[in-house]
Amino acid sequence: MRPSWDEYFMEIAETVKKRSTCLRRQVGAIIVKDNRILTTGYNGVPPKMKHCDEVGCLRQKLNIPSGQRHELCRALHAEQNAIVQVAKYGISIEGATIYITHQPCIICAKLIIASGIKRIVYKGEYPDEFSLDMIKESGIEIVNIK
């Protein structure tokens, strides 16, 4: 059976997340416009830095719960990496859809809102109700496919 566009792109995001070097949660994201992939991203450190699977996770060492103290993480989130890539290459994502393997956190939600993305499709849960509130307030369509 042929998958819907949402199913198709979410399957690709699931493959993208396999590149993650995070020790706690692997996340993948892709940004799509007119059913064409513009960019992908997964959670991992900025270029030229050692990955968490090489140096360890400060958040694990400090026993920081998921969804808190994002500033104590070496990595960029998948959504951040995807947005950085389009910015780096001068690609507009105005009106695009982002597919994410987990609900975005508040920091990523603000970047998505500011970037002009008009639709979010996500799969897994994340402990951040504030992000969902802001996304709903912004008028961005948000779809949780389970």
pLDDT tens string 51-62: 998 999 999 999
- SS3 assignment, position 28: strand
Element (H, E) at 119: strand 119-124
What are the φ/ψ torsions at residue 136 (nearest 5 degrees)? -60, -40
**Is the pTM above the cut of 0.85?**
yes
Q: What is the pLDDT of residue 127?
A: 80
Interatomic CA distance for residues 15 and 11, integer angstroms: 6
pLDDT band at residue 68, thresholds of 50, 70 and 90?
Answer: confident
pLDDT value of position 70: 85
> Which one of the listed residues 7, 54, 79, 137 is annotated catalytic?
79
Q: Is 125 a catalytic residue?
A: no
* Chain centroid offset of residue 77 CA: 6
> Residue 22, annotated ligand binder?
no
Give the residue among 46, 20, 24, 37 at the shortest CA–CA distance from 99.
37
List pLDDT tens digits, range 91-138: 999 999 999 999 999 999 999 999 999 999 999 888 889 999 999 999
CATH 3.40.140.10, domain 5-144, yes or no? yes
Sequence ranges of the domains in the chain: 5-144
